[in-house]
Amino acid sequence: MVKITLKDGSVKEYPKSTTVEEIVASIGSRLLKAALAAKINGKVVDLFTPVMEDSSLEVLTFEDDDGKWALRHTGSHILAQAVKRLYPDAKLAIGPAIDTGFYYDIDSDKPFSEADLAAIEKEMENIVKEDLKLERFELPRNEALDMVSRLGEIYKVELINDLPEDAVISFYKQGEFVDLCAGPHAPSTGKVKAFKLLNAAGAYWRGSEKNKMLQRIYGTAFIKKNQLEEYLNMLEEAKRRDHRKLGKELDLFSLHEEGPGFPFFHPKGMIIRNELENFWRDIHRKHGYKEIKTPIILNEDLWHQSGHWDHYKDNMYFTTIDEKNYAVKPMNCPGGILIYKSAMYSYRDLPLRMGELGLVHRHELSGALHGLMRVRNFTQDDAHLYLTPEQIKEEVLGVISLTDHIYKLFGFKYRVELSTRPENSMGSDEDWENATDALRDALEAANLPYKINEGDGAFYGPKIDFHLEDSIGRTWQCGTIQLDFQMPEKFDLTYVGADGEKHRPVMIHRTIFGSIERFIGILIENYAGAFPVWLAPVQVIILPVSEKQKEYAEKLNKQLEDLSIRAESDLRSEKVGYKIREAQLQKIPYMLVVGDKEMEAGTVSVRDRKEGDKGIMKFEEFLSRIKYEIENKISK
């Protein structure tokens, strides 16, 4: 007999090699129905696993991440099985579960069209109906290789060959289909009732552009049909929030063939930009930053000296002036450094914080361009801090807290990553280690959860990255804090210490918005175009009921403008309903409906874009309310 300790602390006894499934069945039929996998002594296993010793047992359902992943992983196997049934020549690569569902990479001569996906989905439904039991078996390496080569699965051969010597090589079988897989899986294909294939796209084998491009089919799976519906609705909703669509509808910006990746900002988009920049300047001044501006085009020699030529040339644009070679700046640091070098500094001057809203140009791959999120020219809200080595931690912490403060103002959730030394980089291992440790210390001190992003640092130093989410949960790097011992060396930067000797400062490169363009993209999607009043391109629109109130409307408009509130009046001879509809679609925060009643009483009938009709109030009262909202940057 073995003793099984359940999550609630109760202990039950079962004959040895009773399967998890049988144990779960003895607990309750509802739990059995919901169970997808289990944890025995903390290790995730299949339900058909026999229990051989005294253990703790935790049943995993779709509510648990591991249970969810098991179900979706089974979804990917069903997908592969369906593909093999329909296209026996297709070769299978990898097919994992992911946050939003699952995918399978397949090598097939025939590209999968929408119609093919529908056919595959149909076959998957059959497999679900067949309710095939999943079985697991292990093979010694040579037998495993033998089996996958007999099946002609060349990618699986490669995968097995790359497994470490001591790895257990396991397979999962459902009906006629067998796949190399570590598991765990749902107990049978019948569990995957609520699934859908979403799209097909290319993906390189093993993620390297040197390898063959395979076809990746994405799908998702849930335990209940209504969860799937909900998810699909969420995707639809996200499409409505897409900043590219809203940018056009709200007349904020545009992109043209004449300048791929070079966004054009329209008057309304410029208002948001300028408000953000004003806010940025204000808060940075308060945090001890000076502002500078450096040229966009600088002599090529500078870029040789900075190391960009060796490490960043492929992303740069070049030009010639008077037969001399120049580069368009992809970063602001070398220009900023020239300003630093134009004076002498005492240790008393440090930390020196110099901010720059700098327009940079980078050659991004054409296929990577994406609305405002990834462009070829963008304005970084950059700053370079020059410090003594002792000041590193405090300054990094200062930047972290400023970043947190600003993101919170917008109500953004964010994720933090620590990116370490990349392959193509400069400097000694010791410098890199010190810099990376310093950033890690700061993160620990700030008590920020973070993930390590191996080899993703800048070529001159490691960095802390802040990622923000767009409407469908894709994340984009915005803020970054980079610690740099290299540029001060390359440019022979110095300050005079208390000892009267010259010393080498350390540099921090940092951004908070990251790029104004990308940040605006994130703002649009997060607010679904309904910006808080302080950012809204038009803050108030006055809607006279008829032309009789035209003058009253103009008077109110003028008063608003005198207070620097962005107001418009809709004086067209349209019905109020029509004017409201347009203002509503433009997501204007406040509509002031004025008719004879209001005109005579000096009042306005206020309509809030979210809450609807707020009733009549004195115009002055409305003024003080909106002023309060603007001044305090209220988002609601």
The active-site residue out of 84, 216, 243, 384 is 384
* Contacts for 96 with CB less than 8 Å, ≥ 6 apart: 73, 76, 102, 103
| Closest alpha carbon to 528 in 606, 590, 584, 592 | 584
Q: Which of residues 489-518 bind RNA (CB under 7 A)?
A: 511, 514-515, 517-518
Phi and psi of 353, rounded to 5°?
-115, 115
Stretch in the footprint of RNA (CB under 7 A) among 47-55, 228-236, 254-262, 280-288? 254-262
Of 5-13, 21-29, 333-341, 581-589, the window that binds RNA (rule: CB under 7 A) is 581-589
Q: Contact 296/359 with Cβ under 8 angstroms?
A: yes
3 state DSSP class of 355: strand
Among 593, 623, 626, 630, binds RNA (CB under 7 A): 593
Q: Given 81, 215, 380, 539, which residue is catalytic?
A: 380
- Applying CB under 7 A, the site for RNA has a residue count of 76
* Positions in 388-427 near RNA (CB under 7 A): 422
Instruction: Tell me: does residue 605 bind RNA (CB under 7 A).
Output: yes
Question: Which of 96, 190 has the CB closer to RNA?
Answer: 96
Q: Residue 47 and residue 65: Cα distance in Å, rounded?
A: 16
Secondary structure letter of residue 96 according to DSSP? -
Amino acid present at 322 = D
Residue list 206-235, contact with RNA (CB under 7 A): 207-209, 213, 215-216, 218
Residues, the chain? 636
Instruction: Provide the strand spans (E) within 545-602.
Output: 567-569, 590-594
- Figure out which of the listed residues 289, 378, 495, 531 binds RNA, where binding follows CB under 7 A: 378
Nearer to RNA by Cβ, of 75 and 263: the residue is 263
326 binds RNA (CB under 7 A): no
E-strand spans in 337-413? 352-361, 377-387
516 to 535: interface string for RNA, x by CB under 7 A: -xx-----------------
**Would residue 384 show up in a list of annotated catalytic residues for this protein?**
yes
Would residue 463 show up in a list of annotated catalytic residues for this protein?
A: yes
Q: Tell which one of 529, 598, 619, 622 touches RNA (CB under 7 A).
A: 598
Tokens describing residue 352: 């020196």
By CB under 7 A, what part of segment 148-207 binds RNA? 199-204, 207
CB neighbours (10 Å) of residue 573? 8
Residue of 362, 374, 518, 609 marked active site: 362
Burial of 313 per CB tally in 10 Å (0-12, 13-18, 19+): middle
Residue with smaller CB distance to RNA, 13 or 89: 89
CA gap 132, 81 in Å, rounded: 11
Cis bond before residue 184 (omega within 30° of 0): yes
The answer to whether residue 363 is catalytic is: no
Binding-residue pattern over the window 109 to 138 for RNA, x denoting contact by CB under 7 A: --x-x-------------------------
Q: Does the protein bind RNA through residue 574 (CB under 7 A)?
A: yes
Q: Does 236 interact with RNA (rule: CB under 7 A)?
A: no
Please identify which of the residues 273, 308, 509, 607 carries the catalytic annotation.
509
Q: Which stretch binds RNA (CB under 7 A): 40-48, 172-180, 256-264, 624-632?
A: 256-264
Residues contacting 568, CB < 8 A, separation 6+: 538, 540, 541, 542, 557
Work out whether 601 is an interface residue with RNA (CB under 7 A). no
d(CA 115, CA 351) in angstroms, rounded, equals: 62
The yes-or-no answer on residue 311 being catalytic is no
115 or 168, CB closer to RNA? 115
Judged by CB under 7 A, the chain residues 542 through 561 that form the site for RNA are 545-548
Distance of CA 308 to the CA centre of its chain: 27
Q: Residue 155 and residue 521: Cα distance in Å, rounded?
A: 39
The tally of CA atoms less than 13 A away on the side-chain side of residue 60 is 24
Subset of residues 41 to 100 that bind RNA, contact rule: CB under 7 A: none
What is the set of active-site residues? 333, 362, 380, 382, 384, 463, 509
